[in-house]
Amino acid sequence: MLQDKKVLFSGMQATGNLTIGNYLGALQNWVKLSDEYECFYSVVDLHSITVRQDPAELRKRARKLLTLYIAAGLDPDKNCIYYQSHVSAHAELAWILNCFTYMGELNRMTQFKDKSSKHADNINAGLFTYPVLMAADILLYQADVVPVGIDQMQHLELTRDIAQRFNSVYGDVFTVPEPFIGKVGAKIMSLQDPAKKMSKSDENPNASVYLMDDPDTIMRKFKRAVTDSEGVVRYDEEKQPGICNLIDIYCACTGKTKEETEREFSGKGYGDFKTAVGTAVVDRLSPLQAKMADLEKNKDYIDQIIKQNAEKASYVATKTLRKVQKKVGFPERVR
Q: Output the CA torsion 98→54→286→149 (10° steps).
A: -20
Q: Where in 215-274 is the site for ligand LTN (CB under 6 A)?
A: none
| Catalytic member of 64, 187, 200, 258 | 200
Q: Look up 200 and say whether it is catalytic.
A: yes
CA dist 145 and 179 (Å) reads 6
Q: Where in 5-24 is the site for ligand LTN (CB under 6 A)?
A: 9-13
Residue 21 or 278: the one with the smaller Cβ distance to ligand LTN is 21
Contact 158, 109 (CB under 8 A): yes
* Residues 6 or more apart whose Cβ sits within 8 Å of residue 233: 243, 247, 261, 262, 265, 266, 268, 270, 273
How many other CB atoms sit within 10 Å of the CB of residue 262?
15
152 part of the interface to ligand LTN, by CB under 6 A: yes
Q: Tell me which of ligand ATP, ligand LTN, none is bound by residue 138, counting a contact when its beta carbon lies within the kind-specific cut-off of 5 to 8 angstroms.
A: ligand LTN
119 part of the interface to ligand ATP, by CB under 6 A: no
Q: Tell me which of ligand ATP, ligand LTN, none is bound by residue 47, counting a contact when its beta carbon lies within the kind-specific cut-off of 5 to 8 angstroms.
A: ligand LTN
Q: Where in 96-135 is the site for ligand LTN (CB under 6 A)?
A: 134
CA of 92: how far to CAs of 45, 51, 100, 136, 317, in Å?
Answer: 15, 21, 13, 9, 10
Q: Which of 76, 149, 194, 278 binds ligand ATP (CB under 6 A)?
A: 149
26 part of the interface to ligand ATP, by CB under 6 A: yes
21 part of the interface to ligand ATP, by CB under 6 A: yes
326 part of the interface to ligand ATP, by CB under 6 A: no
Backbone angles phi, psi at 181, to 5 degrees: -115, 125
Question: Which amino acid is it at 289?
Answer: Q
Q: Total residues at the site for ligand LTN (CB under 6 A)? A: 14
Contact 130, 47 (CB under 8 A): yes
151 part of the interface to ligand ATP, by CB under 6 A: yes
45 part of the interface to ligand LTN, by CB under 6 A: no
CA of 298: how far to CAs of 67, 75, 292, in Å?
Answer: 10, 15, 10
Q: Which of 143, 184, 198, 292 binds ligand ATP (CB under 6 A)?
A: 198
Backbone angles phi, psi at 199, to 5 degrees: -140, 145
Q: Which of 47, 115, 197, 274 binds ligand LTN (CB under 6 A)?
A: 47
What residues act catalytically?
115, 197, 200
Query: Could you list the residues that contact ligand LTN (CB under 6 A)?
Result: 9-13, 44, 47, 134, 137-138, 146, 148, 152, 155
